Structure 1
Amino acid sequence: MDEMCDNITALARERGEAWLTGGGLRPTRQRLSLATLLVGDGRNRHVTAEGLYAAARDSGEQVSLATVYNTLRAFCEAGIMSEITVDAGRSYFDTRTDDHPHFFWEEENRLSDAPAEELELARVPAAPAGAEITRVDVIIRLRKS
């Protein structure tokens, strides 16, 4: 059983390292630890900095909240994550970087992917002179009825 857990852990670390190097980032110990938490199981995640900080601490990683924020920003700058701003005081970081809409579950303060194939945008306003559109974020806010 321990050997199987070691293999799963090794695979998770390999995924984390590949994710970092794919973004051109050097896999430092802390980056690798956070990357493993984010993509080690092969699934996409929507995390807050505080949530990732708690998960890192729970896994035994000695990391500060400031380091988590700085690392998430570096991941975004490298293009391996994107930041989704839900409101002025709340951002989520998404490991899925293709264009896709999101559901924001208000009661749960949770972000999830919405089905992109069901979204239809007929037209986007032209950017003002001297500017270009870099991306369009669609956040659909939900409340249980």
Structure 2
Amino acid sequence: MTATIRAEAHPSRGPCLMAVLRMAGLRPTRQRLALAELLFSGPHRHVNAEQLHSEAEGAGVSVSLATIYNSLHQFRQAGLLREISVDAARSYFDTDTTDHHHFFIEDEQRIEDIPSDSIKIAGIPDAPEGMKVTHVDVIVRVKRTQ
């Protein structure tokens, strides 16, 4: 689905984003369309709600932080974003929904991709009855050496 969103910049991107949101089961409101444009108009990236709110304000999009949080979670539930929980109080949202892992650069409060084939995972337990493992998230925390 993410590849569908990443159309080249052209005047018809608005209708393209509208179609993507509709296909994901989301009503394409003005605010959702504006946030989708900010999120998906460039290369894959990681963003938190506060960063997206700041970008929206800079782009002249009037939207509350609560709406940003709600939209990010709706996009995640629809499969358009992947949520990366760094700790109980912090989540980042990744526009690349393919299987891969992440570095968390603690000094910079920043997420960076690790290719999925760089980490080998063995010994994943069977899921509880009636459930299945959907994916495994690995976050490697790093900080700069002095």
Structure 1 match to 2:18? 17
Q: What is the distance in 1 between the residues matched to 2:27 and 2:48?
A: 23
Q: Whole-Å Cα distance in 1 between the matches of residues 10 and 54 of structure 2? A: 19
Q: Is the 8 A contact 1:80 1:97 kept in 2?
A: yes
Percent identity of paired positions between Structure 1 and Structure 2: 49
Q: State yes or no: 1:27 paired with 2:20.
A: no
Partner Cα distance (2:60, 2:92) in 1: 23
Whichever residue aligns with residue 25 of structure 2, its letter is: G
After superposition, the C-alpha distances for 1:46-93 in whole angstroms (9 at most, x for unaligned) are 110111011001100110000000111110111111111000110001
Does the aligned pair in 2 maintain the 1:82–1:96 contact within 8 Å?
Answer: yes
Q: 2:31 and 2:10 mapped to 1: Cα distance?
A: 16
SS at match of 1:10: coil
Structure 1: state its 5+ residue gaps.
1-6
Residue pairs, 1:115-130, within 5 angstroms: 115-129=115-129
1:106-121 mapped onto 2 (5 Å cutoff): 106-121=106-121
TM-score (norm 1): 0.84
Q: Which residue of 2 aligns with 1:4?
A: none
Question: Which letter maps to 2:65?
Answer: L
What secondary structure is seen at the aligned counterpart in 2 of 1:85?
A: strand
RMSD (CA atoms):
2.1
The residue number in structure 2 matching 1:39 is 40
CA distance in 2, matches of 1:76, 1:106: 24
Instruction: Kindly indicate which of the two structures has a greater share of residues assigned to helix.
Output: 1
- Indicate if the aligned counterparts of 1:17 and 1:32 stay in contact, CA closer than 8 A: yes
Matched residues in 1 for 2:27 and 2:10: separation? 20
Letter of the aligned partner of 2:69 in structure 1?
Y
Give 1:134 deviation, angstroms: 3.0
- Between Structure 1 and Structure 2, how many residues are aligned? 138
Per mean C-alpha deviation after superposition, the further-off stretch among 131-140 and 77-86 is: 131-140
Runs (5+) with no aligned partner, structure 2: 1-7
Separation of aligned partners in 2, 1:54 and 1:14: 25
In the alignment, the residues of structure 2 paired with residue 85 and residue 28 of structure 1 have an alpha-carbon distance, to the nearest angstrom, of 27
Q: 1:19: Cα distance to partner?
A: 3.9
1:137 alignment counterpart = 137
